[in-house]
Amino acid sequence: MNLQEAMENIRSIRKYKHQAVNEQDIRAIIEAAILAPSWKNAQEPRYRIIRSPEMLQKVRETLPAFNQKNVQDAPVLIVTSIVKNRAGFDRNGTPDNELGNGWGYYDCGLSSMNLLLKAQELGLSTLVMGIRDADMLQEILQIPAEEAVVSVIGLGYGDIEPDMPKRKTVDEVSLFY
């Protein structure tokens, strides 16, 4: 599968098969995420890979009911976070611009897109969820205060093949100068 095919075929999947994902594929997906560019090469995104049934249940409970249902059969959940005060900051901790930690979140988005596309290439499906109880996740996963939780990503083999939602055109989203 080439990049164009991956971009055209990727979907947010809300139903998964009862099928394990091998560790080699998970590692390849995280390695792809690591390749994404980041502010001054800060490399601040972090990933917690949830696979044990007990931890999957605990992490699912941090999600609203509709997302708990969406990933009830996902064999892997990935919790993304960023190391705060790294991207968008000088080494002395002074913000480089008005966005501050906004650059860390931006970098996490870049990394997450690589993660999603690699999963697609490997025949896996994903669902990125931003509605979650970050405090509860920090407690359950012992995420240090120096990090901010960004998302929970469901990962597994999709059990549905939804159509592509309608997309805006280039002219609807762009201004040429």
CATH number of the domain to which 27 belongs: 3.40.109.10
What integer pLDDT is reported at residue 136 of this predicted model?
98
Q: pLDDT by residue (tens digit) across 26-77?
A: 999 999 999 999 999 999 999 999 999 999 999 999 999 999 999 999 999 9
For residue range 109-135, what is the model confidence (pLDDT) as tens digits?
999 999 999 999 999 999 999 999 999
d(CA 150, CA 132): 9
- Tally the domains of the chain: 1
pLDDT at 91: 81
Whether the full predicted model's pTM is greater than 0.75, yes or no, is: yes
Q: Please give the share of the chain, as a percent, with pLDDT higher than 90.
A: 90
Distance CA 165, CA 131 (A): 21
Query: Whole domain around residue 52: which residue ranges?
Result: 3-173
Is 90 exceeded by the pLDDT of residue 90?
A: no
Q: State yes or no: pLDDT of 92 exceeds 90.
A: no
Per-residue pLDDT band for 89 (boundaries 50, 70, 90) equals: confident
CA-based torsion, 126, 99, 41, 150: positive or negative: negative
Q: What is the pLDDT of residue 133?
A: 98
**pLDDT surpasses 90 at 1:** no
107: closest CA among 131, 92, 85?
Answer: 85
- Structural contact between residues 117 and 3, judged by C-beta atoms closer than 8 angstroms: yes
